A and B are shown apart, each in its own frame.
Chain A
């Protein structure tokens, strides 16, 4: 099967799976079933993204979010798809939407940090990294890592080193023996 045929076939399959899932979701109030349905949607979206069909993935997740607009798993999946599709502003809105629902979300802040850092908006990156560190209660290695990166970038080598050390020690390791 050549690539366009595969894509078409995959799209049909994914759509069919999504419809079945959504019908099942509507018919069931069982939390476990809902979680499985969400996972299936996320997996389908990942398949679409890996096939280069990130716009289809965005549509699939958006339909699912219509039924459950505050679903964090779906929102993160949407942000991933938007990232691959190059929809930077939409992705930022999605991450901010997550923060409105989960005000203390560290992963959403970390993703914002990564976006701001790659866009060379280092002050914003440092702001969200600091917020992530505070909201994690000092346990997020990623938050300290990004604080270190922003400080290193700003030429503050001493404080960068301190933050790298905190990032390193935030993830304890076991003895070799």
Chain B
């Protein structure tokens, strides 16, 4: 590919960049990590304008440079993948070719940004102020933030494996190299969609999972039975009666997968058997410790049973698995309120309501 210069040339440039940045870096630079919160940030556009990045939406900030092929690939792929996400991601590319861009730099940076599909203002890090503040020394750096700017991921690299993991976690878009597909040994479109729907459900993106699974239900009649059953959960279209009749085959199945146990747990809970529901949700989390719906079930049912220890444990795990889901945020708010931290309760509940209001918008 013409945009990929030689490795030696790249190494020299990267070294020069790192040395230059290190020389410019203040003595006590803080290095941001997962869980830290980014403040609103002033960025400069090549047009001479400036903007303030605020984190009113989940955001992905990509620090990129024309001399870093990996960062250009990251930019291409993130700009392509973000619009397919279940929630509206804000991708913020910030160029770090140089601390100040001359006319030739600007033309080169513009051309690269446009060829990656970026049509907005081309932002760059004037004087490397932002990199110094964030303690970043690598290009690319990809930072994923939740609503409000809390860092959920910060990666100083870009690879197909990382891409697939981030896409699966945040966009719900899977590719052939995602491990789930390798184990399925199939590139069949129906199976891909079904797997994608299952993954979306796992991380709590229910409406997107339903939409995807509905496509499977409409077009893939010959899938294995468990996936076919999932496909028949026409949650979005059906009322409670329809849901019960759709879920009954799964509840009555003679197996003990995390999915089946969680479905039985919900069934028991609706029948008023809280202890049974908690026991089944617990079993589900033991079978699959990354199955978000079971953790949130366990947290909510334990909260109703006034079991604060289990509620806290389950909530903590659920929030680790999906920081964007309103249910986990609302539960966190109630826990903060019960411990007397009203400011934190209001903060979490505000984010929960905002997430729900955004979901409801067309």
- 8 Å CB contact of A161 from B266, B297, B337: B337
B342 with A171: CB separation less than 8 A? no
A168 with B349: CB separation less than 8 A? yes
- 8 Å CB contact of A177 from B247, B342, B353: B247
- 8 Å CB contact of B333 from A141, A157, A164, A175: A164
Q: Which residue of B lies closest to A151 (CB)?
A: B346
Taking CB atoms and an 8 Å cut-off, the chain A residues in 147-170 that contact chain B are 148-149, 152, 157-158, 160-161, 164-165, 167-168
- 8 Å CB contact of A176 from B206, B337, B354: B206
Taking CB atoms and an 8 Å cut-off, the chain B residues in 306-352 that contact chain A are 326-327, 330, 333, 337, 342-343, 345-346, 349-350, 352
A163 CB, min distance to chain B CBs, angstroms? 9
* Contact (A145, B353) CB under 8 Å given A176-B296, A177-B293: yes
CA distance A164 to B343 in the complex (A): 12
A171 with B349: CB separation less than 8 A? no
Contacts of B345 in A (CB 8 A): 161
Q: Which residue of A lies closest to B296 (CB)?
A: A176
For B270, B293, B343, B356, the residue with the greatest tally of chain A CB atoms inside 10 Å of its CB is B356
* A142 at the B interface (CB under 8 A): yes
* Contact (A152, B350) CB under 8 Å given A158-B342, A177-B265, A177-B297: yes
- Chain A 115-153, CB within 8 Å of chain B: the 1/0 string? 000000000000000000000000001100100110010
* A174 at the B interface (CB under 8 A): yes
* Contact (A177, B263) CB under 8 Å given A142-B357, A161-B337, A171-B360: yes
Contacts of A152 in B (CB 8 A): 346, 350
For A152, A158, A164, A173, the residue with the greatest tally of chain B CB atoms inside 10 Å of its CB is A164
A158 CB, min distance to chain B CBs, angstroms? 7
B266 with A176: CB separation less than 8 A? yes
B330 with A168: CB separation less than 8 A? yes
- Chain B 250-277, CB within 8 Å of chain A: the 1/0 string? 0000000000001101110110000000
* B235 at the A interface (CB under 8 A): yes
Q: Which residue of B lies closest to A169 (CB)?
A: B330
Contacts of B326 in A (CB 8 A): 168, 173
B23 CB, min distance to chain A CBs, angstroms? 39
| A: number of interface residues (CB 8 Å) | 20
A157 with B296: CB separation less than 8 A? no
A32 CB, min distance to chain B CBs, angstroms? 21
B293 with A176: CB separation less than 8 A? yes
Contacts of B247 in A (CB 8 A): 177
Q: Which residue of B lies closest to A176 (CB)?
A: B293
CA distance A120 to B329 in the complex (A): 27
- 8 Å CB contact of B353 from A168, A174, A175: A168
* Contact (A165, B262) CB under 8 Å given A141-B356, A145-B357, A177-B247: no
Contacts of B297 in A (CB 8 A): 176-177
CA distance A3 to B360 in the complex (A): 34
B356 with A161: CB separation less than 8 A? no
- 8 Å CB contact of B350 from A142, A148, A177: A148
- 8 Å CB contact of A157 from B263, B330, B343, B356: B343
Contacts of B265 in A (CB 8 A): 177
Q: Which 6 A-B pairs give the minimum distances between C-beta atoms?
A: A177-B266, A164-B349, A176-B293, A177-B263, A157-B342, A167-B353
Which of B's residues lie within 8 Å of A, judged by CB? 204, 206, 235, 243, 247, 262-263, 265-267, 269-270, 293, 296-297, 326-327, 330, 333, 337, 342-343, 345-346, 349-350, 352-354, 356-357, 360
11 A-B Cβ contacts within 8 A? A141-B353, A141-B360, A148-B350, A157-B346, A165-B349, A171-B357, A171-B360, A174-B243, A175-B270, A176-B293, A177-B297
